[in-house]
Amino acid sequence: MECDVLVIGSGPGGYRAAVLAALRGLKTVIVEKATWGGCCLNRGCVPKKDWHHSARLLDQGRHFADRGISGDIRGDLAQAWRHQRQVVTTVRDSYRSYLKRLGVAAIEGHARFADTNTVIVDPGATTINARAAIIATGSAPRLPEGIDAVSGRVLHSDLLFDEPVPDGARVAVIGGGVIALEFAYILQAFGREVAWLARKDPFARADFSTPAMKLLRAALADRGLVPTRAGVAGIEVGDSEIRLTMTSGEALMADWALFATGRRPVTEGLDIERASVRLDAQGHIVVDDEMRAAPTIYAIGDCVAGPMTANRALYEAFVAIDNILSPGSRKRDLAGVPEAIYSAIELARVGLTEEEAEDRGFEPGVGFAAFETSPRALGQDEPQGYVRLIADVDSGALLGGEVLGAEAGELIHMLTTGSSEGALARIAAARFNHPARAEEFQNAVETLAAKWGLQGHVFGAD
């Protein structure tokens, strides 16, 4: 079999790369050894956001009486698990149907390189000769040393989606990253008694601002979610409960545990050394800023060092395909890729922080607008949060932004389209539906312009 582009892995990056290649007229083959759709669709962002939406509905029940809505509301985690599976199945069927309509050949099996341009897929030893290959094999959960997964008792995030949720009410969530931040909230909203253990401070994040982390910490604490700064040294699984021994020596009893302690790149079994592809010390595929790992081989997503998000993988697919079609035409710039956290408050950001802007020689100015006076936010009983913009005072270029509050993951896209040059002017001149949360972007721009003397950059004045 011969093709223009061979994609190994069908997660968001691999799927996007295959779609882009086919839409641009390239004969495309995609190979998947496990579940079509990869982590994001089956065990990550898609089903997790489904659960988060349900958790937010439950959380909003605190305001129902004031809104004239009466009756009891409670969460059914088992049914919520079944609902996310239905969503995943629907998306996966649509996904595979679209690939078929585009003429992408989808092969199930394990791919391994014979040389730079030849891949063998087992079982069956199908040989594929490709003009270019894209490795998009993703990542897998990483458990602490000495801890093994036990079905229904000791889970990592993949198992949480692969199997029905355990019945026990007492849950230990272990981890200080985004997955732990999100699932501590989701499980608590569904009535679980959550004990949250984190070796590192979950709110010490350089990418989001200190005020953002302060608001998130307060929102979680308001719901009884305060992490204990401790790691897990060992775990004993009994007949009816589990015992976790913390690094402090103290013990914690629970019905089951969820470990959200990081992920590792999946690169084993690819025989990449035969294709002159290198790994770094952590097992990530080494690429240049065009996503090239070897002259005709590219790698994208979690198997490459960087933030392990679907957002990044989708963007890198675009970079890789552009460079396959026109070598050297596009270089990776992750500053424009948004990041989001879905917890007691939604947080989203894009671009540079103030510190990063200063390090790059800019003179950053900040524009701010809070949702606490937004008619739309007040009408939703969710006035927490804000829009925060960072611009270069000298040029008026938008450098970055941050949104906190309901729908932050959607609103952040106001800042991701088009060039940073002129972005503030576009927002200032935009027409908005009223009342809308998005209006706060315009308010933040106007505040920024007035405070830092950017009226000429924003409004076209001299």
Please give the positions annotated as active site: 434
CA distance 311 to 170: 33
Q: Cα torsion for 256, 282, 333, 366, to the nearest 10°?
A: 60
Contacts of 382 (CB under 8 A, 6+ apart): 60, 371, 405, 406
Element holding 127 (H helix, E strand): strand 126-135
DSSP summary character for residue 359:
H
Burial class (CB in 10 A: 0-12, 13-18, 19+), 168: middle
Structure tokens at 315: 């963007």
Nearest to 349 by CA among 309, 404, 407: 404
CA angle centred on 409, ends 89 and 444, rounded to 5°: 165
Contacts of 340 (CB under 8 A, 6+ apart): 311, 346, 347, 348, 349, 408, 409, 412
Q: Cα torsion for 59, 60, 66, 71, to the nearest 10°?
A: -70
In terms of residues, how long is the chain? 462
CA distance 173 to 338: 26
Q: From residue 103, how far is each of 8, 21, 340 by CA, in Å?
A: 17, 11, 33
Count CA atoms closer than 13 A to 260's CA, side-chain side. Answer: 24
Q: How many CB atoms lie within 10 A of CB 457?
A: 24
Beta partners for residue 3, in sequence order: 130
CA angle centred on 58, ends 52 and 60, rounded to 5°: 105
Element holding 390 (H helix, E strand): strand 386-392
Element holding 259 (H helix, E strand): strand 256-259
Cα 304 versus chain centre, distance = 15
Nearest to 352 by CA among 209, 215, 166, 219: 209
CA distance 230 to 2: 53
Contacts of 423 (CB under 8 A, 6+ apart): 397, 398, 415
CA distance 182 to 192: 14
